[in-house]
Amino acid sequence: MAPQVAYFNPRELRDAKQHSRIEDDSRLESGQSSVQDLQRRNGFFSCFDPSQMSIAKRRVRIRVA
């Protein structure tokens, strides 16, 4: 059996994003969601589970030759 190959279709991505924008607009207009709710839902870290995240400062030493 041949391995499946993933592909990227920019039109599908564009259409999905537009559909999401339309849904967000309708939620705002109907009062189902607030701007803050949508920002939280669509934000950069929205795809991560907060219970499994941690933020730590890391120190890196640079050696000068």
What confidence score (pLDDT) does residue 16 get? Answer: 93
Cβ distance 29 to 15 under 8 Å?
no
What confidence score (pLDDT) does residue 8 get? Answer: 83
Q: Which domain range does residue 12 map to?
A: 1-65
What confidence score (pLDDT) does residue 26 get? Answer: 95
pTM greater than 0.85 = no
Domain count of the fold of the chain:
1
Neighbour-count burial of 33, counting CB atoms closer than 10 A to its CB (0-12 exposed, 13-18 middle, 19+ buried): middle
Instruction: State how far the alpha carbon of 8 is from the alpha carbons of 12, 19, 33, 46, 59, in Å.
Output: 8, 18, 31, 22, 37
Tens-digit pLDDT profile for residues 7-63: 889 999 999 999 999 999 999 999 999 999 998 888 887 778 878 878 788 888 888
What confidence score (pLDDT) does residue 7 get? Answer: 82
**DSSP 8-state secondary structure symbol assigned to residue 46:** T
